[in-house]
Amino acid sequence: MTAVDLSQPPLVEFRGVSKVYGSGEAEVLALDRVDLAITRGSFVAIMGPSGSGKSTAMNIMGCLDVPTAGDYLFQGVPTRGLDRDGRTLLRRHMIGFVFQGFNLLSRTTAVENVELPLVYRGMKEEERRRRALIALDQVGLADRANHTPAMMSGGQQQRVAIARAIVTDPAVLLADEPTGNLDTKISREIMGIVTRLNRERGQTVVMVTHEDDIARYARRVIRFLDGRIESDREQEATGVL
């Protein structure tokens, strides 16, 4: 298990974060004064029913949305003063995303898909190819580097998506229902990869899931209800590897 450095500020922190959508009779309070801190090296599962606030919390962590009130701090630094370009840079350099729908470019090979975040950074072709191949090897797909998504199974496509998320060596990996489109066997394989990234590389992982068996891979489970944290507990990770 990765040691947690308690001398460092939380990697991700909410201080009284609220989020309101709409106005008047259409107003929806998605988050209600949420306090939350996640340390570097953690593996956290966020759960809750539809409309509980878990996806809104994830979007704010990923700088895809901003709080209506309260503060979101990343590595101890408030993000309130960041404009859209600033939030884009933070996402590009510090955050990796894995989505339920893979979000791969259909006519592009696996290695080219993985290279994409490095293209946005302006990295030279030779170096980004080298890093992309290393990332594919880390998810067990070095031999599929030149395959397009149509030539791969759903599980393989999600592995490519994970490689793309980690190729920039992000501070945190945000996974939104990463096994939602996969069967039980493939889900276990994907979660095995995510677990190894956390344990062996110290990769911080925050994962939204509605599945209890998937949440068992995490060492901390936070449950949202009606925009607030209903429970927050540590656990022994018991997911099947």
CATH number at residue 24: 3.40.50.300
Q: Residue 102 — very low, low, confident or very high, per pLDDT cuts 50/70/90?
A: confident
Domain presence at residue 238: no
Domain that holds residue 208: 12-232
High-pLDDT (> 70) share of the chain, %: 96
Return the ∠ at Cα 214 (arms to 203 and 190), rounded to 5°: 60
pLDDT tens digits, 79-93: 998 999 999 999 999
pLDDT tens digits, 169-179: 999 999 999 99
Domain presence at residue 165: yes
Beta bridge partners of 74: 12, 77
Distance CA 103, CA 105 (A): 7
Which pLDDT does position 8 carry in this prediction?
75
Domain presence at residue 35: yes
pLDDT at 5 over 80: no
Domain presence at residue 173: yes
Q: Residue 72 — very low, low, confident or very high, per pLDDT cuts 50/70/90?
A: very high
Close Cβ partners of 11 (under 8 Å, ≥ 6 residues apart): 38, 39, 40, 42, 74, 75, 171, 172, 204
High-pLDDT (> 90) share of the chain, %: 87
pLDDT tens digits, 12-30: 999 999 999 998 888 999 9
pLDDT tens digits, 147-165: 999 999 999 999 999 999 9
pTM given for the model: 0.92
Domain presence at residue 156: yes
Query: Domain total for the chain?
Result: 1
43-47 vs 220-225, strand pairing mode: parallel
Domain presence at residue 1: no
Domain presence at residue 237: no
Across the range 103-119, mean pLDDT stands at: 94
